[in-house]
Copies of this chain bind each other. A is one copy, B any other.
């Protein structure tokens, strides 16, 4: 049932990245772990379909490749009304906000409204970080069954990003279970010393958690309980709007 040629073609697309922006045929074949003949046919197909550029020596992706991810972005359950609610939230709080979806051990950014630069870190759509280190990831872990959460904690790569990163698995379990009780999460300086955020779960019509909404907190004010409470109230309004629209959508 499995179509090898299709899987290898996808693998070829994925060989391109920050350090591999332009590649020769041999680069692609080596990185994808396929023969030169196979790489040549797949790159030729991508060239023909207008997804890659070839300058005679180097292949590079063309922006048309975004059409593939765009099929997802434009068909997202949240759709345009989530973007509106996110704009309102960002403008009320003058902070960036993001929607991310738990996929395996990562949260993938699927929408972001960015209001100013708090940090040198960039969070592009399609980017991913470990779920337990994101304010929009923890509420999704909190929604897992105890067994699934234990499995996550036992198998996730728990890396130290900053001196503030919680790397103790029992401590993480305790934090995530407490977040489950109160319905929201705060992550302070664990991914980047300049990044603090508050997060809440987004639900589908059946009430199942399907994503997380995160709102940036100014790191210099993130220890003030009044600031957290204000952010909690604001993000809760946005969550209510988005969940309400998801329910309405039929």
Contact = CB atoms under 8 A, between A and B. Distances in A.
A32 to B, nearest CB: 12
Nearest to A44: B1
Contacts of A103: 50, 62-64
A213 to B, nearest CB: 15
A84 interface: yes
A163 interface: no
A226 interface: no
- Nearest first, the 8 A-B pairs at minimum CB distance are A69-B69, A70-B126, A6-B9, A66-B126, A87-B117, A21-B75, A5-B5, A66-B69
A87 B126 CA distance: 19
Interface string A111-122: 101111100101
B42 A74 contact: no
Nearest to A114: B113
5 contacts: A7-B48, A14-B71, A61-B75, A69-B69, A70-B124
A10 interface: yes
A87 to B, nearest CB: 4
Given A64-B103, A75-B21, A87-B114, A40 B125 contact: no
Interface in A66-122: 66-77, 79-80, 83-84, 87-88, 90-91, 101, 103-104, 108, 110-111, 113-117, 120, 122
Contact of A42 (B3, B66, B115): B3
B2 A124 contact: no
Complex copy number for this chain: 2
A16 B60 CA distance: 25
Contacts of A9: 3, 5-6, 9-10
A45 B4 CA distance: 8
The contact size tier of chain A is: 35 or more
A18 interface: yes
Given A3-B5, A3-B42, A122-B80, A75 B114 contact: no
A8 B45 CA distance: 11
A5 B2 contact: no
A10 B7 CA distance: 11
A178 interface: no
A41 interface: yes
